[in-house]
Structure 1
């Protein structure tokens, strides 16, 4: 397996099968141009098997941390260590950037995600509620 950072819009568009909805070219361009945005792609035997995206955030009293925004592994490549490898690669990127940590929000009933993140070294940090605003 090879993991590398996405640097072109074409790579993000080619990863469309890993996203919840088809990626849009203008959003892919904005993602790549935005400081702190990271997209890592995993290739298994030349097939685009998974992706992880992260966003570096900076706060005046905390420093920098990375939010693991989304992880996706192609259904045919699940349970082969792709998700764990991607998570570990994003953690390595966070350390390289000087981040003090990395975090991810996970539904408490998402056992696959919880197992993946735990296998990659994450620990539970209590229960929290996620509140959202929809700006349609």
Structure 2
């Protein structure tokens, strides 16, 4: 397995099967152009993407920069082989290299697979928290604001 940072729209589109919904080229382009956004993709020996993790740097005037692990996905046929852990560890290393003071992720408390993956990669529970969401209408065809 080889883990690399995605730097081209074609790489993001090639990992489309790992996302919740179909990727859109214009959104992939915006993602790559946005400062502090990164996606690491795990490739099998045959070159096929088998996992991905995305991270977003978050900066605050009194805290500095932290990394939010935004999403982790591993192709079902490659689960329970250490891909998720390797991707999480690679994102944590990228966060350290970028000077982030920590990395965090929100996880549903009943998502045992995700919790096990993050714990095995050195993450620790900070306790229980609620996630409050504001839902907005879907963006138009241009995909942006």
| Aligned match of 2:103 | 102
| Aligned match of 1:57 | 58
Verify: 1:118 aligned to 2:129, yes or no.
no
Deviations 1:46-75 (A, max 9, x none): 221100000001000000000000000000
| Aligned match of 1:80 | 81
Give unmatched runs, 5+ long, in structure 2.
138-145
Q: Return the alpha-carbon distance in structure 1 between the equivalents of residues 99 and 14 of structure 2.
A: 30
Verify: 1:19 aligned to 2:35, yes or no.
no
CA RMSD, 1 decimal: 0.4
Runs of 4+, deviation exceeding 6 Å:
none
State the shift of 1:24 in Å. 0.3
TM-score by length of 2: 0.93
| Aligned match of 1:41 | 41
SS at match of 2:95: helix
Q: Return the alpha-carbon distance in structure 1 between the equivalents of residues 9 and 48 of structure 2.
A: 18
TM-score by length of 1: 0.99
SS at match of 2:43: strand
